[in-house]
Amino acid sequence: MNWRLRVVHTTGYRYATAVTQSYNEARLTPRHDDRQNLMVARLETIPPARAYKYTDYWGTEVNSFDLHSPHTELKVIAASVVETSDQPPPSAEVTWVQLKSADVLDTYAEYLEWTTYVPKHRELSAVARSLRRGRSPQETVLAVSKWVHDTLKYQRGTTGVHSSAVDAWQAGEGVCQDYAHLTLAMLRAVGVPSRYVSGYLHTKPDAAVGETVVGESHAWVEAWTGEWWGFDPTNDISIGHRHVWVATGRDYADVSPLKGIYSGEAATAIEVTVDMTRLA
Amino acid sequence: MSRASSRQLFDGYLDPRRPHAGAYDEMFDPVDGVRTAYKRLHDSLQPLQPADLTTRSEALDRALVDQGITFSLSGEERPFPLDLVPRVITASEWSRLERGVVQRVRALEAFLADIYGEQQIVADGVLPRRLITSCEHFHRQAAGIAPPNGVRIHVAGIDVVRDEQGDFRVLEDNLRSPSGVSYVMENRRTMARVFPDLFAKHRVRAVGDYAVHLLRSLRAAAPGVTDPNVVVLTPGVYNSAYFEHSLLARQMGVELVEGRDLLARNNVIYLRTTEGEQRVDVIYRRIDDEFLDPVQFVPDSVLGVAGLVNAARAGNVVIANAIGNGVGDDKLIYTYLPEILKYYLGETPLLPNVDTYRCWLPAEHAEVLDRLDELVTKPVEGSGGYGIVFGPDASPKELQAQRRRIRANPRGWIAQPVVQLSTVPTKVGERLQPRHVDLRPFAVNDGEDVFVLPGGLTRVAIPEGSLIVNSSQGGGSKDTWVLAPRASGEDAELRGPGLGTPAVKPESTPEQGPELNAAQQQQQQ
């Protein structure tokens, strides 16, 4: 199925006292690939600022902007129109022996290493190894995703942006970011190169054309088992026309949607809204 | 009479029972006696009585204390005591060394451009990707930043040692913020005040114009402006190299600034001054990458400038040295220098490395752990001698701890056989004794030429038998004399009008009395 989707993502900060200076980077522009066609993308800020665009090491489009007049709220609105389709099932498949080859270990080294969000954990690794038994690498990705889906309870607001895969697992609950990190920790434990994907999910499978729904900032994973392919452990579904991807990286830190530095007192995040409209 | 005193001064100098007796002594050949390079220096020193040596040394100390006033005013302690015997390098030795340093800088420039660009060397299978991605100073934030004139290594400090055969070998490359050049200039200034007579007998190449070369390189790096504004960015007065930062800024005639003096707006960097904001084109920074821009690195750092990295990415300012150069001076990547030289320049190294084991290769890892007690193990990143373990000097307990550290992080360690660094006569008590030295020549790249300052920082290990020249281990320094070629018109130190005697009297016997008086008089001025 092919959809055309408009995404309007609003995020930002509110400050206790006026901020006179802030420097920010937004990673909010959907990418372009075989499954997804970016038709138009625009970034607007309030107060207005001139954005400087560049492509970072991971291939993500970054909008960088700075503000120099006093403001008590920063609002960032990223709007885009994308055409999406369903991801075909992965065609190439490698064996466990091939995944251990020097070539694969070298080429995908960054996607096999531990990070702050995706730390090594003995018990989790043992679970991952037991799930691998009798399965191919591809089947293992699905089995691990299902295990994560069944193990964590989806709980909005329970974990901050600073919690790791292990924190979420020990708490038994989390949001899509935690589902993704936990899946990565287990896949890397059994030697499957895997990466974090940030993006959006349209929440209504039977949406009518022209209907606007409340979407979500979302995260899922991609694994390399001969080629890169994605899976959504939060919902235990494959990647389809309702998924819009923005960035990939080793973990959340490589793709954080909005980060910056400002001078002033404490900031609170404003309510994030993602409006998604099916256009075709 | 001079024979007797000579025996005293150099008494037991080449004692075969001394530690590391196999080391190359730069003054004495064990068979042929005094080497040509040191002939005149030796002839000047030989007639000295031990008491004369002490007088000279005291004159030197006074000169240092004199300058030390400047140092203590700027909050700097002088870490390297200056030894009175200079280290001499002949014109032909220097020419070989210089070519090797230039070659290395050129290859590392090409390497850094590639690593922060297309990574062709990885795509071509010459270097493993993991070698790069696992490097602590491979900064992904710098990917895609292309400096206007292509230079990333504006200043390099290439540490070299002389092995048992007297051949120069590179011990490590320093491509981030190599420091020490102020000692090179200050040591020379002090020596010229205290020993004008020695300079009159040698054609020593000048080092005082370093800042001219540095400024030329920084101006050449600027993004398409006719009269670029260059600043020196320092972490502040509490930094141990603050004296050097202020000296270089003063000599170049540019502003010395801290992060809070600079401001980024719309990817342009401005200097706040009493006359308003001034656009800045080139920043010679002496702040580590991690503290340079809180947007990209350590978010709570106040030393740097928010927005600086993207201003450089946008091509509006040049950061010198470039961000992420540490990938080029990682000590594991150092072991691949022959491959890097061959790939980019199609050349073989003019200066060999010291033989090095790579703990991250399983075969070499095992050998290192087997021979830990005879090898020197070093962390791949960092400088200043931190973390280095000398196998032969380590206790079994220390070796065990080191073994654990290497096992836990094989990528983090390399190992080398103990190199018996060359020795140079050094004043110890009332005699001259062989003490081990290394050398850090400084290279400056302006995009057209790589200039190597004829001299460099010679560090000397003072304790007998010590091979560790770091100041924290009681190291000192020596003035490094690069001799001008016999037929050259190169400017030699103290040749200018009004400085010493221009005429050379090669065979004259040094006279002691008047010269010491001259030195003492200068102290009183």
Tokens 């752990």 correspond to what residue? Answer: B369
CATH number assigned to the domain with residue range B91-163+170-178+204-345, chosen from the 4 options 3.40.1130.10, 3.40.50.11290, 3.40.140.10, 3.90.1150.10: 3.40.50.11290
Considering the domain boundaries, does residue A90 fall inside one? no
Q: 3-class DSSP state for residue B321?
A: coil
The pLDDT assigned to B471 comes to 60
Tokens 């654990």 correspond to what residue? Answer: B404
Considering the domain boundaries, does residue A197 fall inside one? yes
Instruction: Report how far residue A66's alpha carbon sits from residue A52's, in angstroms, rounded to the nearest whole number.
Output: 9
The pLDDT assigned to B48 comes to 87
**Considering only A29-38, A45-54, B55-64, which range has the smallest mean pLDDT?**
B55-64
Q: Where in chain B is the domain with CATH 3.40.50.11290?
A: 91-163+170-178+204-345
Q: Among candidates B178, B165, B161, B172, which has minimal Cα distance to B285?
A: B178
| Nearest Cα residue in chain A from B135 | A110
Do A245 and A265 lie in one domain? The reply is no
Are A66 and B264 within 8 A, CB to CB?
yes
Are A107 and B129 within 8 A, CB to CB?
yes
Strands A153-154 and A173-174 turn out to be parallel
Are A56 and B267 within 8 A, CB to CB?
no
Model ipTM?
0.94
**Per CB distance under 8 Å, which residues of B are interface residues toward A?**
128-130, 133-134, 140-141, 143-144, 264-267, 294-295, 299, 306-307, 310, 313-314
Q: 3-class DSSP state for residue B132?
A: helix
Are B264 and A23 within 8 A, CB to CB?
yes
pLDDT by residue (tens digit) across B245-274?
Answer: 999 999 999 999 999 999 999 999 999 999
User: Cβ contacts of residue B398 below 8 Å, gap of 6+?
Assistant: B389
Are B144 and A21 within 8 A, CB to CB?
no
Strands A61-67 and A21-26 turn out to be antiparallel
Q: Contact B58/B84 with Cβ under 8 angstroms?
A: no
Are B299 and A261 within 8 A, CB to CB?
yes
Do A148 and A261 lie in one domain? The reply is no
Q: Contact B329/B177 with Cβ under 8 angstroms?
A: no
Do A204 and A221 lie in one domain? The reply is yes
Measured in degrees and rounded to the nearest 5, phi and psi for residue B488 equal -90, 160
The pLDDT assigned to B137 comes to 95
Query: In b/e form, how buried is each residue of A231-241, taking b as 16+ CB within 10 angstroms?
Result: bbbbbebbbbb
Do A62 and A120 lie in one domain? The reply is no
Chain B contact for A58, CB < 8 A?
yes
Instruction: Report how far residue B137's alpha carbon sits from residue B313's, in angstroms, rounded to the nearest whole number.
Output: 18
The pLDDT assigned to B379 comes to 94
The pLDDT assigned to A221 comes to 98
Instruction: Report how far residue A4's alpha carbon sits from residue B462's, in angstroms, rounded to the nearest whole number.
Output: 75
What token pair was written down for A175? 């949001």
Tokens 């690195």 correspond to what residue? Answer: B297
Q: Contact A72/A17 with Cβ under 8 angstroms?
A: yes
Paired strand residues for A197: A220, A248
Considering the domain boundaries, does residue A91 fall inside one? no
Give me the CATH number covering residue A116. 3.10.620.30
Are B295 and A260 within 8 A, CB to CB?
yes
What residues 6-35 of chain A have any CB closer than 8 A to a CB of chain B?
21, 23-25
Considering the domain boundaries, does residue A166 fall inside one? yes
Q: Contact A233/A183 with Cβ under 8 angstroms?
A: yes
Sheet holding A61-67: strands in order across?
A52-55, A61-67, A21-26, A258-263
Q: What is the span of the domain harbouring residue A126?
A: 96-254
Are A54 and B310 within 8 A, CB to CB?
yes
Do A100 and A26 lie in one domain? The reply is no
What token pair was written down for A117? 């969000």
Optimal mutation site among A105, A106, A248, A263, interface B, most CBs of chain B within 10 A? A106
Q: What is the pTM of this model?
A: 0.92
DSSP code of B30? T
pLDDT, one tens digit for every residue, chain B (525 residues): 444 444 578 888 988 899 999 999 999 999 999 999 999 999 999 888 888 888 888 888 888 777 653 443 344 455 568 899 999 999 999 999 999 999 999 999 999 999 999 999 999 999 999 999 999 999 999 999 999 999 999 999 999 999 999 999 999 999 999 999 999 999 999 999 889 989 999 999 999 999 999 999 999 999 888 899 999 999 999 888 899 999 999 999 999 999 999 999 999 999 999 999 999 999 999 999 999 999 999 888 889 999 999 999 999 999 999 999 999 999 999 999 999 999 999 999 999 999 999 999 999 999 999 999 999 999 998 666 678 899 999 999 999 999 999 999 999 999 999 999 999 999 998 889 999 999 999 999 999 999 999 999 999 998 898 888 876 566 789 999 999 987 665 666 765 444 433 333 333 333 333 333 332 333 333
| Nearest Cα residue in chain A from B296 | A260
Average pLDDT value for chain A: 95
Do A179 and A249 lie in one domain? The reply is yes
Q: Among candidates A2, A26, A24, A15, which has minimal Cα distance to A217?
A: A26
Element (H, E) at B33: strand B33-34
Paired strand residues for A44: A77
Element (H, E) at B172: strand B168-174
Q: Where in chain B is the domain with CATH 3.30.1490.270?
A: 357-417
Do A196 and A129 lie in one domain? The reply is yes
Instruction: Let me know if domain B357-417 sits in CATH 3.40.50.1980.
Output: no
CA distance to partner chain A, nearest, from residue B277 (Å): 14
Considering the domain boundaries, does residue A38 fall inside one? yes
